[in-house]
């Protein structure tokens, strides 16, 4: 090995004064959440982040203590759980193992650790979690429904339910547990409770229905109180699907609520839904997810959720028979209002106003107006303008995306809808009284409230806009389930889209609990024969399409790699096995899965090429490739779970399918019978070829890219082609695909003004005409899966599958494509990771940050003798670098590094 001058700088100085290294614990999480209330996991997983200003710090042991009392846990007495010192570096997903937990308990906990330098931290700040309903407690509340809701169709006026009550004692604390069939908003004493939207969320309603828990201590009064609930159709019975399709899960809206109040004298009281509640309708005339809302302010029920309101004209409610056993606590993040956008431009169009929000967004418009009684304001939403500057609605298909507001007159009024959302950039406002100014209109952005986890920037502003589009495509389609699109009459949890985008999603957002929840719905909706539906929650019927149903295997594995959480594999393992069993049954003895209906490489560039060999052949190839690949993944899962017999079985099955794949689809010279970029990409990415054949096939793939000069892949090939090219030594071609600005490419939509990812490569053509209106979403995240390559290859942050969850990190940037800089950050379970680089002339400067309690393999491009790592030479640093494949490679510990090398 060559000798190298290597310098290392540890960040151990504050100002010019040397101080003792600090060791502390932050970011305590319970099942991925900070101080959650109303969980029902009897053995929640605890995680924490370690802070230290000393390099190369690892946890050597931890201690956890937990109690039902805040002071007790701080004093270390009357504990439910005390671990003593546990000798391990494990600081994520530590399962609670104390005394059995019961409903409604609040558990306080702390942790402290000892590091590899012999230092012991102070006890952390106290965190807590609070139980909801667990197995030992039944709901006392009844399901209730208005008496007119016995058999009703969609888009009827929203029911309003209310109950007045007195408490009469000093309140210590109070919790409201609530759910419904449909959607709900809840108020106490004239004020809305909580900030969650689209509750109780979208699940497989027949077997899983979430309830929410709210701390309403401050909402209640000692004397008169009123609890009020508004119901909307939502996904439960609203329009759903691209044909007339409502009442999927039922025709009757209903609610269940249980208010539990504790008093300072030690007594308790429960206020619950029963047939003493009253019901009526009010100003929400219609509220449908696809079509929008009609709101008549002249019918407002002023003071309806406050004490003393006259409800003598209201109707009775009825107790209805709905199972309470399916009620579950939420695992995923709630939907919330995340941003408010100002309009970019407002233009007068005849008597109307065309509003450009400047961003294709998901949510709704909040509008203020002053007019007379009977004035009607209509807001119609769309994503794009046509080539003449007119607002374009045709790609919405049957979704109206229209909100209508009937003014009551008098003072200024503010309107925003209750139970609908739109996907849009542009809004046509009709009937507005007077001049519409920017201060009267706001874009309200909603999505599942996931914590942002990643950033990416580089020297090319078009690629930066691509990253922006990836993130906003994610935001717009992560609304309690991962949907395909947010605007037309679809908005469904398509499994294929979710599968290909999951790695990119997990880099940009903390999506762990989001996917955990959705995967349990996938299992709930899985057919008895092992088939997995096309959409989750399932409203289309039977599924079983390769690449789509494989989400049931691929996404749990992605989550395990990203978050190091074995429990997701435990939860999904039987479901995975059943899916492999379904593929095995469909493929038969020859192991080639053929003849079934599959989506293939959906929306690929051109499926009619003369050398494409026909879409049917490619679908068989894709199906068989996924059969081998998913079987291999299940073998790996079985190994992680210690199921050795299963691991051998699925590994051998994968090998046999791989052999059948080669016999059926691969010629002796390495050419695939379907000579397409996707075919070669899948064969190489899924390790279906022997080394000699893989080398030949990689040549064919590179040749195809060079011949066409652009990408030709669809939904299944696109996420993998760039990584495959890089792995095969053709990073130049991967950069070529990224940098291309003409159709088809990732940057073509950017040059056309896109602010989200498009469904098609040419959703809007160069002449500004449009693709097929029947399937042309301008907010469709699937092609945004290129993000994984950008973060892993361009910026250089990768996962070591042998030490998942970024316990060991791969820092391996590969500059190219004319870029002069790139930088990515990712907040892992252990803390923030940074990898960035700047290329100036022949000097490359790298910035690297590795969190405490992790390590990394650092790849420095080039083999120059002139390498600096901020200060000391290699011998003094204790870091050993070796030359490998044109790089210098070494293992580093936690800390911040600046590396300078010649190129």
Catalytic residues: 490, 759
Torsion 699-705-707-709 (CA) sign: negative
Rounded Cα gap, residues 659 and 653, in angstroms:
10
Residue 578: how many other CB atoms lie within 10 Å: 18
DSSP string, 317-367: EEE----STTEE---SPPEEEEEEEPPSEEEEETTEEEEEEEEEEEEEEEE
Upstream peptide bond of 299 is cis (omega within 30 degrees of 0): no
Angle between helices 644-665 and 566-587 (to 10 degrees): 40
Strand blocks (E) in 760-894: 797-799, 808-811, 821-828, 831-840, 843-850, 855-861, 867-868, 881-884, 887-892
Cβ atoms within 10 Å of 264's Cβ, excluding its own: 10
The DSSP result for 245-256, as a single string, is ---SS-S--EEE
DSSP calls for 674-724: S-SHHHHHHHHHTT-S-HHHHHHHHHHHHHHHHHHSS----TTTHHHHHHH
> Around Cβ 218, how many Cβ atoms within 10 Å?
10
Nearest CA among 877, 873, 902 for reference residue 4: 873
Q: Distance of CA 824 to CAs 307, 553, 789, Å? A: 54, 28, 12
**Three-point CA angle 534, 538, 540, nearest 5°:** 65
Decide if 711 contacts 430 (C-beta within 8 A): no
CA 355, CA 569: separation in Å to the nearest integer? 47
**Cβ of 732: how many Cβ atoms within 10 Å?**
12
Residue 216: which of 227, 201, 208, 232 has the closest Cα?
227
Q: 564 near 573, Cβ under 8 Å?
A: no
The set of residues, in sequence order, having a beta carbon less than 8 Å from that of 696 and lying 6+ positions away, is: 669, 670, 671
788 contacts 474 by C-beta, under 8 angstroms: no
- Whether omega before 697 lies within 30 degrees of 0, making that bond cis, reads no
Contact 536, 521 (CB under 8 A): yes
One-letter-per-residue 3-state SS of 81-138: EECCCEECCCCCCEECCCCCCCCCCEEEEEEEEEECCCCECCCCCCEEEEECCCCCCC
**Bond preceding residue 537 cis, omega within 30 of 0:** yes
**Among candidates 417, 147, 421, which has minimal Cα distance to 281?**
147
Give 641's contacts (C-beta < 8 A, 6+ positions apart): 566, 569, 570, 573
Instruction: Give the other-Cβ count within 10 Å of 728's Cβ.
Output: 21
Helix pair 615-640, 677-685: axis angle to 10 deg: 20
Pairing of the two strands 441-448 and 212-215:
unpaired
CA distance 505 to 454: 9
User: For residues 856 and 895, is the Cβ–Cβ distance under 8 A?
Assistant: no
Half-sphere exposure of 208 (CA within 13 A, CB side): 19
Residues 6+ apart with CB under 8 A from 659: none
């Amino acid at each position: 090995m060559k000798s190298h001058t290597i310098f290392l700088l540890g960040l151990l100085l504050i100002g010019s004064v040397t101080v003792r290294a600090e060791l502390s614990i932050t970011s305590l999480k319970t099942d991925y959440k900070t101080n959650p209330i109303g969980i029902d996991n009897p053995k929640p997983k605890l995680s924490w982040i370690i802070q230290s200003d000393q390099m190369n710090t690892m946890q050597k042991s931890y201690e956890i203590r937990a109690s039902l009392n805040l002071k007790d846990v701080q004093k270390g007495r009357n504990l439910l759980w005390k671990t003593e010192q546990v000798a391990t570096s494990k600081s994520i997903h530590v399962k609670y193992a104390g005394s059995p937990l019961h409903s409604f308990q609040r558990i306080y906990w702390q942790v402290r650790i000892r590091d590899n330098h012999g230092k012991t931290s102070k006890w952390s700040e106290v965190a807590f979690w609070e139980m909801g309903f667990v197995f030992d407690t039944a709901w006392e509340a009844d399901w209730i429904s208005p008496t007119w809701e016995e058999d009703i169709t969609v888009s009827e006026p929203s029911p309003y339910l209310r109950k007045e009550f007195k408490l009469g004692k000093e309140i210590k604390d109070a919790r409201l547990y609530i759910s419904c069939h449909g959607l709900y908003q809840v108020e106490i004493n004239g004020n809305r409770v909580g900030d969650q939207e689209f509750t109780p969320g979208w699940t497989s309603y027949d077997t899983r229905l979430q309830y929410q828990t709210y701390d309403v201590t401050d909402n209640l009064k000692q004397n008169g109180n009123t609890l009020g609930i508004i119901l909307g159709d939502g996904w439960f019975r609203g329009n759903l699907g691209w044909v007339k399709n409502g009442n999927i899960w039922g025709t009757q809206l209903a609610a269940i609520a249980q208010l539990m109040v504790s008093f300072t004298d030690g007594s308790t009281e429960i206020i619950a839904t029963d047939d003493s509640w009253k019901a009526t309708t009010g100003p929400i005339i219609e509220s449908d997810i696809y079509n929008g809302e009609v709101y008549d302010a002249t019918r407002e029920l002023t003071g309806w959720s406050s004490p003393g309101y006259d409800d003598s004209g209201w109707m009775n409610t009825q107790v209805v028979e709905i199972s309470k056993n399916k009620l579950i606590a939420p695992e995923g993040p709630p939907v919330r209002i995340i941003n408010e956008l100002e309009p970019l431009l407002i233009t007068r169009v005849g008597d109307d106003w065309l509003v450009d929000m400047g961003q294709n967004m998901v949510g709704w418009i909040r509008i203020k107006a002053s007019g007379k009684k009977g004035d009607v304001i209509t807001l119609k939403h769309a994503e794009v303008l046509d080539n003449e500057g007119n607002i374009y609605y045709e790609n919405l298909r049957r979704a109206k995306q229209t909100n209508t507001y009937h003014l009551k007159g008098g003072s200024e009024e503010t309107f925003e809808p209750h139970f609908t959302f739109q996907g849009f950039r542009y809004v046509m406002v009709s009937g507005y009284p007077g001049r519409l100014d920017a201060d009267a209109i706001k874009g309200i952005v909603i999505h599942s409230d996931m914590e942002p986890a990643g950033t990416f920037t580089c020297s090319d502003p078009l690629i930066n806009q691509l990253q922006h589009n990836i993130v906003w495509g994610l935001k717009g389609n992560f609304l309690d389930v991962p949907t395909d699109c947010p605007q037309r009459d679809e908005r469904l949890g398509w499994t294929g889209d979710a599968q290909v985008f999951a790695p990119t999603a997990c880099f940009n957002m903390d999506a762990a609990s989001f996917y955990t929840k959705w995967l349990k719905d996938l299992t709930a909706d899985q057919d008895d024969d092992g088939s997995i539906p096309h959409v989750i929650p399932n409203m289309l019927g039977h599924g079983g399409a390769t690449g789509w149903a494989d989400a049931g295997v691929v996404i749990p594995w992605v989550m395990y790699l990203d978050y190091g959480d074995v429990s997701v594999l435990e939860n999904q393992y039987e479901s995975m096995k059943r899916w492999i069993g379904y593929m095995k049954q469909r493929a038969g003895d020859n192991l080639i899965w053929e003849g079934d209906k599959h989506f293939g490489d959906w929306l690929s560039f051109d499926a009619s090429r003369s050398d494409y060999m026909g879409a049917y052949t490619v679908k068989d190839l894709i199906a068989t490739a996924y059969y081998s690949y998913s079987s291999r993944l299940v073998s790996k899962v079985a190994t992680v779970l210690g199921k050795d017999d299963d691991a051998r079985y699925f590994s051998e099955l994968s090998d046999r399918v791989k052999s059948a794949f080669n016999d059926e689809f691969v010629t002796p010279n390495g050419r695939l019978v379907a000579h397409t970029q996707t075919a070669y990409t899948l064969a190489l990415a899924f390790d279906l070829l022997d080394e000699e054949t893989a080398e030949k096939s990689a040549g064919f793939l590179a040749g195809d890219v060079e011949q066409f000069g652009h990408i030709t892949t669809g939904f299944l090939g696109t996420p993998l082609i760039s990584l495959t090219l890089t792995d095969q030594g053709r990073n130049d071609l991967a950069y070529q695909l990224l940098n291309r600005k003409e159709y088809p490419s990732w940057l073509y939509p950017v040059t056309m003004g896109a602010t989200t990812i498009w469904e098609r490569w040419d959703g809007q053509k160069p002449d500004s005409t449009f693709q097929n209106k029947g399937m042309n979403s301008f907010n469709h995240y699937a092609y945004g899966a290129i993000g994984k390559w950008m973060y892993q290859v361009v910026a250089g942050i990768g996962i070591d599958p042998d030490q998942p969850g970024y316990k060991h990190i791969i820092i391996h940037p590969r500059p190219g494509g004319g870029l002069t800089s790139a930088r990515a950050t990712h907040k892992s379970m252990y803390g923030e990771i940074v990898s960035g680089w700047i290329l100036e002339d022949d000097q490359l400067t790298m910035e690297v940050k590795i969190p405490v309690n992790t390590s990394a393999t650092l790849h420095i491009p080039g083999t120059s003798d002139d390498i600096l790592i901020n200060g000391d030479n290699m011998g003094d640093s204790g870091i050993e670098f070796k030359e490998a494949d044109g790089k210098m490679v070494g293992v580093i510990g936690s800390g911040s590094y600046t590396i300078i090398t010649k190129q």
